[in-house]
């Protein structure tokens, strides 16, 4: 069986949906890289550099398996000052994360790249700035129960009710959702 033409090396349901909504035809093959190991390797770099290194690691892993395919790697980091907020995975951690973000400005960093034949052919990173409203514990718990954002970077689904949590946003909403879509679409026009 021949390699798929285009592969998304991410299990993110929102990234998948964003590409579908953009009319892109692709397969999903999730990489098996250990993100914690990669994060521990790149601690001196800026968050824009770190997020692109994570995206590259995912794409490179899948590109080795499917060298003839164009592989999209993507990653996202939610950062308050110097603290990176991973997916909370459980309710109590979600409450803790949103309590820390409440009333504060934080950043969402998005990295995206393309690999083919196990070689990087394009990469891009950008960020958005968000200021969360000051939220009570009751508002935080109600929101988590409403949107179930336990698998989301930063613990909110901006594409759903999470957008209501913010006083303002500077930057692309697609970056906040987890994919610098505009830049990727331009790259796909060029390389696909």
Strand-pair category, 27-28 with 6-8: parallel
Note whether residue 43 is domain-resident.
yes
Residue pLDDT, tens place only, 69-127: 999 999 999 999 989 898 899 999 999 999 999 999 999 999 999 999 999 999 999 99
Enclosing domain of residue 78: 6-191
Check 3, 21, 36, 75 and give the catalytic one: 75
62 φ, ψ (degrees, to nearest 5): -75, -35
Q: Tell me, what CATH number does 181's domain have? A: 3.90.950.10
Bridge-based pairing state of the strands 70-80 and 6-8: parallel
Flag whether 1 is in a domain. no
Active site residue 36: no
* Per-residue pLDDT tens digits for 137-172: 999 999 999 999 999 988 999 999 999 999 999 999
Does the reported pTM lie above 0.85? yes
**CA angle (166 as vertex; 99, 82 as ends), nearest 5:** 55
Is there a domain that residue 179 lies in?
Answer: yes
Domain total for the chain?
1
> Would residue 24 count as lying in a domain?
yes
Beta bridge partners of 8: 28, 72
């Amino acid at each position: 069986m021949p390699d798929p033409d285009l592969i998304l090396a991410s299990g993110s349901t929102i990234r998948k949906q964003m590409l579908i909504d953009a009319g892109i035809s692709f397969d999903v093959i999730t990489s098996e890289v250990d993100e914690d190991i990669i994060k521990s390797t790149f601690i001196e770099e800026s968050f824009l550099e770190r997020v692109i290194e994570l995206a590259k690691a995912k794409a490179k892993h899948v590109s080795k398996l499917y060298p003839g395919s164009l592989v999209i790697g993507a990653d996202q980091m939610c950062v308050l000052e110097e603290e990176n907020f991973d997916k909370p995975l459980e309710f109590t951690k979600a409450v803790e994360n949103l309590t820390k973000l409440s009333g504060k400005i934080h950043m969402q960093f998005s990295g995206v790249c393309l690999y083919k034949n196990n070689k990087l052919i394009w990469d891009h990173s950008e960020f958005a700035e968000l200021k969360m409203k000051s939220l009570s514990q009751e508002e935080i718990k109600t929101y988590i129960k409403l949107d179930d954002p336990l698998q989301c970077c930063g613990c909110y689904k901006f594409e759903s009710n999470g957008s209501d949590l913010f006083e303002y946003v500077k930057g692309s909403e697609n970056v906040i959702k987890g994919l610098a879509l505009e830049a990727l679409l331009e790259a796909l026009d060029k390389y696909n």
